[in-house]
């Protein structure tokens, strides 16, 4: 069944979530709906839970390929500020360093200053990339390794994962693009993913 596939844990080498850290029911239900509704149109997809600081990668067949902690925008919020894509990182005000929520179709493409990157949402300049050396003050690798999501908000809006997870899971899965589902910080699931919310409400018999 599709939802069983979505909930099947990945191989140990691809599961980098802290021991004992669970995936929320909303993430599992959303992944199951994506597969059942073919909302990903057969492409690989990723479900990104900002609140839990988790990144889950699924193949086009709906099977979970890996799960890992992620780093996200230091500002809490679900929308990108107008014109932010045209700013250099150092020019982005602290309040606008958000990771937008929603459904995005993305893939690899060129960037101005970082070469070829995996764009989650090109219009708001949000990409997913491995943590890089050179930012010791931000302790990004330490933040990824910590057992809780409390310290995982540190980026200018992009999503960071550990280099090993990026190379072993992300790069090969999204080489030809995919769909990204970013759960909201403040907005409701109904606002962010209305079709999923309607399907879940119908399944639960809600009016």
136 pLDDT band, cuts 50/70/90, is low
Residues in the chain: 207
**Pairing outcome for strands 54-58 and 178-182:** unpaired
- What's the mean pLDDT when you consider all of the chain? 86
| DSSP 8-state assignment for residue 23 | P
Q: Among 170, 158, 26, 107, which residue's Cα sits nearest to residue 34?
A: 26
Q: Is 101 left (phi over 0), alpha (psi -120 to 50) or beta?
A: beta
Q: Which two tokens stand for residue 42?
A: 């057969």
How much is the average pLDDT of 44-64?
96
pLDDT tens digit sequence for 70-119: 999 998 989 876 666 655 566 565 566 889 999 999 999 987 776 789 99
CA dist., res. 54 & res. 82, Å (int): 27
DSSP-assigned beta bridge partners for residue 72:
153
């Amino acid at each position: 069944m599709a939802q069983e596939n979505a909930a099947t844990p990945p191989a140990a080498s691809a599961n980098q979530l802290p021991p004992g850290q669970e995936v929320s029911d909303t993430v599992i239900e959303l992944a199951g709906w994506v597969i059942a509704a073919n909302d990903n149109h057969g492409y690989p997809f990723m479900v990104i839970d900002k609140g839990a600081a988790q990144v889950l990668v699924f193949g086009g067949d709906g099977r979970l390929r890996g799960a890992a902690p992620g780093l996200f925008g230091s500002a809490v919020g679900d929308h990108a500020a107008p014109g932010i894509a045209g700013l250099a990182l150092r020019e982005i005000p602290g309040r606008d360093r958000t990771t937008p929520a929603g459904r995005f179709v993305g893939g690899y493409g060129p960037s101005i200053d970082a070469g070829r990157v995996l764009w989650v949402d090109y219009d708001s300049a949000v990409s997913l990339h491995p943590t890089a050396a050179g930012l010791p003050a931000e302790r990004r690798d330490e933040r990824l390794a910590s057992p809780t999501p409390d310290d995982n908000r540190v980026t200018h809006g992009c999503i960071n994962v550990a280099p090993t997870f990026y190379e072993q899971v992300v790069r090969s899965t999204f080489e030809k693009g995919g769909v990204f589902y970013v759960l909201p910080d403040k907005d409701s699931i109904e606002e962010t993913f209305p079709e999923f919310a309607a399907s879940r409400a119908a399944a639960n018999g809600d009016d």
